[in-house]
Amino acid sequence: MIDTPLLSVRGVSRHYGAHIGCSDVSFDLYPGEVMGIVGESGSGKSTLLNCMSGHLAPDAGEVVFDTRADGPRDTVTMSEPERRMLSRTEWAFVHQHARDGLRMGVSAGGNVGERLMAVGARNYGDIRDKATDWLGRVEISESRIDDRPGTFSGGMQQRLQIARNLVTGPRLVFMDEPTGGLDVSVQARLLDLVRGLVRDMGLSAIIVTHDLAVVRLLADRLMVMKSGHVVEQGLTDRVLDDPQHGYTQLLVSSVLQV
Amino acid sequence: MTDQAYNFAYLDEQTKRMIRRAILKGLAIPGYQVPFASREMPMPYGWGTGGVQVSAAVLCPDDCFKVIDQGADDTTNAVSIRSFFERTAGIKTTTSTKAATVIQTRHRVPEMPLSEGQILVYQVPIPEPLRFLEPRESETRKMHSLEEYGLMHVKLYEDIARHGHIATSYAYPVKVEGRYVMDPSPIPKFDNPKLSDSAAIQLFGAGREQRIYALPPYSRVVSLDFEDHPFEASKADHSCGLCAAEDSYLDEVIVDDVGGRMFVCSDTDFCEARRAAGHKGKDAA
Amino acid sequence: MIELRDVSKTFTLHNQGGAVIEVLAGVNLSVKAGECVALTGSSGAGKSTLMRMIYGNYMAQAGAISIGEIDLVKAEPREIIRIRREVLGYVSQFLRVVPRVPALEVVAEPLRSVGVEAAVAEARAQELLRQLNIPKSLWSLSPTTFSGGEQQRVNIARGFSHPYPAMLLDEPTASLDAANREVVLTLIEEAKARGAAIVGIFHDEAARTRVCDREIDVTGFSPACVT
């Protein structure tokens, strides 16, 4: 087994005044692992995700990422330029609302190409070839490459967001409710796509969602949060099929069976 | 002629001092947008309030002042700014590029190479080159400070995707001294090469946006492009109808109601000087 | 290969007044390579619970469940996932797959995930689907659209595609016709012959007699009997 975690979270806490965002969260994520974080609205899962992805500074704790260049580094204390560079190269962030993760005034090809240009690509032909390839991989027709995302359906926008994020070959993907607001049939297609990409690219991922079906399908392991605390974590099917904590039992039993 | 009710060059000394400090800072960090406390000027925004404030801050009593608008000395904007400083500063004015010590310009760089000791003041409507794609000022400032300029190329990418070539023809973004990406003001991209390695001091003032930026003499200014779509300083493929110049930027002028047109130098001083020297275009009377 | 020591299992229902249900206690079980052990006992005795515990799906409250060198009770999720991928196969009664994935890929997937080349994995998947009489016309379709019996056979094919050293079989012959039942029993015999340790639940007595070396009555692990 590989012994260096890709991401090592230690005692991460974030308070909003007297209110607890998330409190003393620790875990290790290894290369290729997909972890789900579930909990109701306000349980702190999004706060935690934002702390890990550098969008929010935690009040306490470390978020150590195993960088390609320099090995494990605490992303909380590293300089902002370094952290932003990581977020363009080794990390990806898929927002719940594609509008937050896309440039709506820029064509699909430009959206995919942006990260390439941000890391120094200066050959139009190459950028366009890569964008075409990635649109294909997320099942968007090449003929739509010059269309703006506003003309796409919700599912296509979400797939475009994924292509835009993965084009620079990141190693860790943060996803915030990636299937929220999509039709069930569109969700299935997106999940299948994400699952394939995670496996083929050997990605690690952290997926925040309140949809237990999503984590059952995508996540190797699961963390359950309530009121800012982690109440239970473990293998996904173990947590869902044999929940130990009262809150998890409630969560699992609240889901309609289909 | 001079209106003694005003301080020299309209602005009070403290304001000019504040603007000079912004200019000096701008010169120290070429291409960096320095915020300054832009004053209300007796003219509307969009008429060159930024350029006028910069000119007011750099003018000395023995300066010789020239104003051009789209290259011409005789347009309303140029005439009124020139008379504004004649009245408030009592300085000499000229239409000759060579004789001028301070030249305020809108949308053009004079054809004649400038020399050491001259100052070129640009009027700037929107100083932020990244705004087209990123409307948040907090974010664009961060992008400048961290040199995250990928977005600038997205703009050019979009151009090529839509038009097959880089269609941006004015306000074409440049990179200064390998560091800051800068909007050169809405000059035609034909003028971009003149920004680089110029002997004159180049100052940029945006009144409404309260920003000043600058190029010290002999700054290296590079127009952004792609390897397979290199920058090209383009102009109308004609010669001047009045002076026959082949290498100057041309305006297209409609001359009658049946589609007749002629191309003439946009730089009136340059054109007149050539005609005085005996050059004659096909449309010259 | 499969080794259980003093394993016990309780369910605590936090939302029903904290009721504690004791299901299994003092489970000791050892299955060697090449051996097939049947779990027996009446319905509700805890056969499925025990199977799920051996797979790491249910948490044991006490004891050790070892698959080879790894104790699943203490193992980290990624270790359990590796064990499931490489060592421990599980044929459940129901097929759970992602929509849109064709049957052939479903069956080849366990091989692909241990790094077997696509062509090799596919060839093995074709062989199994053919053996289990899944019409070739269905191979490229998602099993979600198949009949119950077809899904069951795809599930079995998937379970047998990678030669796991340890296997768990939950009613592998249920609802199969005679011909397919025979195929499955042959697959089990082949697995034993190559040295797989197998734990299974078989209601089909004839099948049990044919492939199983021992029977363990789970009723003996009920807490009432132990205390």
The 10s digit of each residue's pLDDT in A75-104 is: 999 999 999 999 999 999 999 999 999 999
Tokens at residue B83, please?
A: 């008379």
A103 near B CB under 8 A = yes
* Closest chain B residue to A113, measured at CA: B154
**Chains B and C share 3 or more Cβ pairs within 8 Å:** no
What are the φ/ψ torsions at residue A189 (nearest 5 degrees)? -65, -40
Task: Look at residue C227 in the predicted model and tell me its pLDDT.
Answer: 45
How far is it, in rounded angstroms, from Cα A234 to Cα B242? Answer: 83
Q: What is the pTM of this model?
A: 0.86
Distances (CA, A) of A230 to A23, A64, A233, C70, C118: 8, 19, 7, 26, 40
What's the gap in Å between the CA of B258 and the closest CA on chain A? 39
CB B129 within 8 A of CB B183: yes
Cβ of B154 and A106 within 8 Å?
Answer: yes
Chain A residue numbers with beta carbons less than 8 Å from the beta carbon of B148 are 84, 118
Q: Which of B153, B159, B224 to mutate to test the interface with A (most CBs of A within 10 A)?
A: B153
How far is it, in rounded angstroms, from Cα B131 to Cα B126? Answer: 9
Chain C residue numbers with beta carbons less than 8 Å from the beta carbon of A242 are 11, 52, 57-59
What's the gap in Å between the CA of C99 and the closest CA on chain A? 7
- State the chains in contact with B (3 or more Cβ–Cβ pairs under 8 Å): A
Residuewise pLDDT in 10s, chain B (285 residues)? 566 788 999 999 999 999 999 999 999 999 999 999 999 999 999 899 999 999 999 999 999 999 999 999 999 999 999 999 999 999 999 999 999 999 999 999 999 999 999 999 999 999 999 998 889 999 999 999 999 999 999 999 999 999 999 999 999 999 999 999 999 999 999 999 999 999 999 999 999 999 999 999 999 999 999 999 999 998 889 999 999 999 999 999 999 999 889 999 999 999 999 999 999 998 876
| A1: confidence class by pLDDT, cuts 50, 70, 90 | low
Chain B residue numbers with beta carbons less than 8 Å from the beta carbon of A146 are 161-162
Task: Look at residue A257 in the predicted model and tell me its pLDDT.
Answer: 60
Q: Which sequence spans correspond to the domains of chain C?
A: 100-153
Q: Any residues with CB less than 8 A from the CB of C140 and at least 6 apart, and which?
A: C102, C103, C104
For the stretch A230-238, contacts whose Cβ atoms lie closer than 8 Å and that sit 24 or more positions apart, written own/partner, are A230/A25, A230/A27, A233/A27, A234/C59, A234/C77, A235/C56, A235/C57, A235/C77, A235/C80, A235/C81, A236/A36, A236/C77, A237/C57, A238/C56, A238/C57, A238/C58, A238/C59, A238/C77
* Closest chain A residue to B151, measured at CA: A114
What's the gap in Å between the CA of C79 and the closest CA on chain A? 8
A235 near C CB under 8 A = yes
> Is pLDDT above 80 for A117?
yes
Task: Look at residue C167 in the predicted model and tell me its pLDDT.
Answer: 96
Chain A residue numbers with beta carbons less than 8 Å from the beta carbon of C56 are 235, 238
> Is pLDDT above 70 for A136?
yes
Residue B86 identity: E
- Nearest Cα to A253, choosing from C46, C59, A241? A241
Percentage above 90 pLDDT, chain A = 77
Distances (CA, A) of B106 to B53, B54, B71, B77, B232: 14, 13, 8, 9, 22
pLDDT in tens, A7-64: 999 999 999 998 999 999 999 999 999 999 999 888 999 999 999 999 999 999 999 9
**Chains A, C: CB pairs < 8 Å:** 56
What's the gap in Å between the CA of C78 and the closest CA on chain A? 7
Cβ of A117 and B161 within 8 Å?
Answer: no
CB C174 within 8 A of CB C150: no
Cβ of C98 and A245 within 8 Å?
Answer: no
SS3 state at B252: strand
How far is it, in rounded angstroms, from Cα A36 to Cα A208? Answer: 6
Which residues of B are identified as catalytic?
Answer: 31, 240, 243, 265, 271
* Cβ atoms within 10 Å, residue C118: 11
CB A138 within 8 A of CB A149: no
| Ranges of residues in chain C whose predicted pLDDT is under 50 | 226-227
Q: Which of C59, C61, C74 to mutate to test the interface with A (most CBs of A within 10 A)?
A: C59
Tokens at residue B216, please?
A: 């010290």
Cβ of C77 and A242 within 8 Å?
Answer: no
Cβ of B154 and A105 within 8 Å?
Answer: no
Q: Which of A1, A238, A245, A251 to mutate to test the interface with C (most CBs of C within 10 A)?
A: A238
CB C41 within 8 A of CB C99: no
What are the φ/ψ torsions at residue B203 (nearest 5 degrees)? -120, 140
pLDDT in tens, C68-87: 989 999 999 999 999 999 99
* Cβ atoms within 10 Å, residue C178: 7
